[in-house]
Amino acid sequence: MPRKRGKPRREEMELPANIQRAFIARASGANWIQCAEVGETTTENLRKWRQHPDAQGYIQTAIESNLGESHSKFADAAPRLAERLIELGL
């Protein structure tokens, strides 16, 4: 099979590190303009990368990771919070 010339299509590439950072920012609640700044790209380019087959899964994984981290922080803080609430109630 002959080798293709030129740059591979976006859909055939892996998500670049800067786009991954932008998607992580989105999963953390940033708007798309802020995400583009984090990823050092434009919103237009980021919009194109959102069409990548791995994009939605990557964002969803980042959201789930953020939620897991948040739940862990709440679970770690629960005993101290309970003690403080008891103190305030007395």
The residues spanned by each domain of the chain are: 15-89
Structure confidence by residue, pLDDT tens digits, 22-31: 999 999 999 9
Degrees, nearest 5: CA angle 65-55-35:
75
As a whole-number percent, the residues of the chain with pLDDT over 70 amount to: 96
Find, among 63, 67, 69, the residue nearest to 24 by Cα.
63
* pLDDT at 21 (0 to 100): 98
Q: What is residue 6's three-state secondary structure?
A: coil
pLDDT band at 37 (very low <50, low <70, confident <90, very high): very high
Q: How far apart are CA 87 and CA 90, in angstroms?
A: 5
* pLDDT at 89 (0 to 100): 82
Structure confidence by residue, pLDDT tens digits, 48-74: 999 999 999 999 999 999 999 988 888
